Amino acid sequence: MKDKNLPEKKCELLTELGTEFYYESEFDSALVYYSSALKLVPNSDKEKKGDITLKIARTYNYMEELEECIYYYQLVKRLYSQSQVKPEKQAGLYKDLGRAYYEMAQYDTAMTYYMQAKEIYEKNNINSHEHGVMFHYIGSVFKRQNKMDKACEYYQMEIEFGTKYNLPQIIAEGTYLQVLCFDEDTARLREDLKALHMFEALGDERMVAMMYHNVSLSFQECGMPDSSLFYLQKSIDYDRKTGSKSSLTLGLSNMANLLIGMKKYADAEKLLLEAEEIGLQSESKKYLQLERVYEEFSRLKYLQRNFEDAYDFLQLKYAYRDSAMDQDHQDAIHEMELAYETEKKEAEIAKLELSNKQEQYEKEMAEAEAARQSFNNKIYLTGGFLVLGLLVFALYKWRESKKQQAIISAQKMQVELQKELIEEKNKDITDSMIYASSIQQAIITSEDTLASMFKDFLSIINRVILFQVIFTGHIIRKTEKN
């Protein structure tokens, strides 16, 4: 029997494999596995799609392919907006988006996303490592904007946050960042070495490599070039291993600076040419790194007394510095272009997915269409019968209504006719009674006349009756005697 959970298990396995390659800095392999896992996620599961897409975005970020990175971050933002994700996940996305824009020297946009992330962490009382990193990122934006007082304020806040919530990684980050806030070279070197030991104790290889670079610069500022070269070479070796173009460009530029100071001009020029080639391929902090490369080129040519080339490289330095500053004020245009590119790529992805599943899709659509047509036919048939029934019922009720109205109208006319007949009979009776009364009055003698006429007659009658009684009584008595 087929396991219904097989696609989900396969998706999890592919994601884990991608993560393994990611931590081994095998980014191309990681992208292959993440992309394969993404195809197995149902379109209805927006959050899971967003989670895997976020891993793809972070991989492109480490590869310093920032255009691709931001495209996928924006895709994650859309997916998360269509589902209910946890606040820390939403804040993490804004943090990563801000960092990507920071790497592209778009500081205003970066700060917008950083502040949104910080607000979510504070509102939901999330006192995590990710929250502590926000002080680092916000401070770094102020640093790039030459607002060192604000930058140092945030770096100190990061150390205090890490101390309060027992986050040693945050304390170490705040410590290395705060080095810039010290004026004395020896104080900077001391703090850099302190931060290096912290990261070594934490086993953070990436941050240890970065601290080698910072310690190298501090040794150089303290006039100890040999120690500076030692630590800088360790940093460059790590960057070559991981393929970090931005860090490698900076390391090579600083190595060239040391070699120029030691008057090893040929070696310095070789390193600067390599740094220029890598810097032109990089997207992360591209303008800042190339500005540094051309500054060292100009210095080298000047010391070689090649003033024409020195001037040309100096012009390039200022051109890239202006580009970095101008880039920060083109956020709105870039956002619009990015939105267009995002929609365009989304359409391409949707088209590709449709092509891969075309046969299945068409079959499902045909079945769905047949089911829809069948359902519609039933609906239409049922609706037709209902309408017909309603029409018949309405016609029947209309005819019944008309019939009742006719009966009522006839009854009303009959009542009216009977009323008229009764009224006429009443009138005839009344007239007859009046006429009879008149005749009666004319032919009947009044009581007084009758009384006068019968008065003598009654007197005679009374006498006859009295005589008869007396006579009858006399006879009776005679009879009794006999």
The DSSP string of 95-118 is HHHHHHHHHTT-HHHHHHHHHHHH
Tally of residues, the chain: 482
Non-local (6+) Cβ contacts of 112 within 8 A are 98
**DSSP string covering 296-365:** HHHHHHHHTT-HHHHHHHHHHHHHHHHHHHHHTT-HHHHHHHHHHHHHHHHHHHHHHHHHHTHHHHHHHH
Tokens of 359: 């046969």
Which pLDDT belongs to residue 336? Answer: 39
In Å, how far from its chain's centre is CA 388?
47
How far is Cα 284 from Cα 248, in angstroms, rounded to an integer?
A: 11
63-120 pLDDT, tens per residue?
A: 878 889 999 999 999 999 998 899 999 999 999 999 999 988 889 999 999 999 999 9
**DSSP string covering 124-139:** TT--SHHHHHHHHHHH
Per-residue CA distances from 117 to 96, 122, 133 (Å): 9, 9, 11
297-320 pLDDT, tens per residue?
A: 888 889 988 888 888 888 888 887
Residue where the block lists tokens 């393929």: 243
330-367 pLDDT, tens per residue?
A: 443 344 344 445 545 554 555 555 555 556 656 666 67
Query: What is Dmax (Cα atoms) for the chain?
Result: 209
Which pLDDT belongs to residue 210? Answer: 87
Q: Is the pTM of this model over 0.85?
A: no
Non-local (6+) Cβ contacts of 392 within 8 A are none
Report the interhelical angle of 205-221 vs 225-242 (nearest 10°).
Answer: 150
Higher-scoring residue by pLDDT: 476, 283:
283
- Tell me how far apart the terminal alpha carbons of the chain are, to the nearest angstrom: 151
423-471 pLDDT, tens per residue?
A: 777 777 777 777 776 776 666 555 565 566 556 666 666 666 665 655 5
Q: Which residue type, as a one-letter code, is found at position 452? A: S
Which pLDDT belongs to residue 482? Answer: 42
Which pLDDT belongs to residue 91? Answer: 94
CB 77 within 8 A of CB 104: no
Q: Which residue type, as a one-letter code, is found at position 210? A: M
Non-local (6+) Cβ contacts of 314 within 8 A are 294, 295, 298
Nearest-CA neighbor of 214 among 227, 202, 204?
A: 227
CB 93 within 8 A of CB 77: yes
